[in-house]
Amino acid sequence: MEYSKIYTVKEEHIDVQGIMDGLYYPFYMEYCRHDYIREVLGFDFAEEAAKGIHMVLSQYTIKFLRSLKKDDEFTVTCELFADAAGQPRLHFKQSIILNGKVMTTAVFTGTCVAATGGRPYLPTGMTDKLVDAPKLDVATLK
């Protein structure tokens, strides 16, 4: 299931070249991903942190294909994948799209850890939602 949200480039995110600074692309993807995690997966970061469960990123890759400009209204997509190797990881393929053209693509990988430390894991409610998810091998991005 692909999830999406619409955003508008803010003036303060524009660099001296008149394009959006590369730093902000992952932030817009994070806004969309966090909404997806809360609305679709039912994981509320604040509530879970209060219970001692932290969802964290372990890696991400990003490709910049085209630049966004001030006031561009664009769509950010988010799609969930299970780990092909069976590791306790969530993979999110995301894109930024403007006028039907892909501007940026990324894969974000995350997991959960106890606030007190320990090995990465996914809570039971999360693993239940991964049963039907397609699998992704981050080593090959397939």
Domain at 2-136: CATH architecture: Roll (3.10)
Contact 10, 74 (CB under 8 A): no
Contact 81, 101 (CB under 8 A): no
Contact 102, 56 (CB under 8 A): no
What are the sequence ranges of the domains in the chain? 2-136
Per-residue pLDDT tens digits for 66-103: 999 999 999 999 999 999 999 999 999 999 999 999 99
Confidence label for 2 from pLDDT (cuts 50, 70 and 90) = confident
Torsion over CA: 137, 134, 96, 15 (sign): negative
CA dist 14 and 82 (Å) reads 35
pTM comes to: 0.93
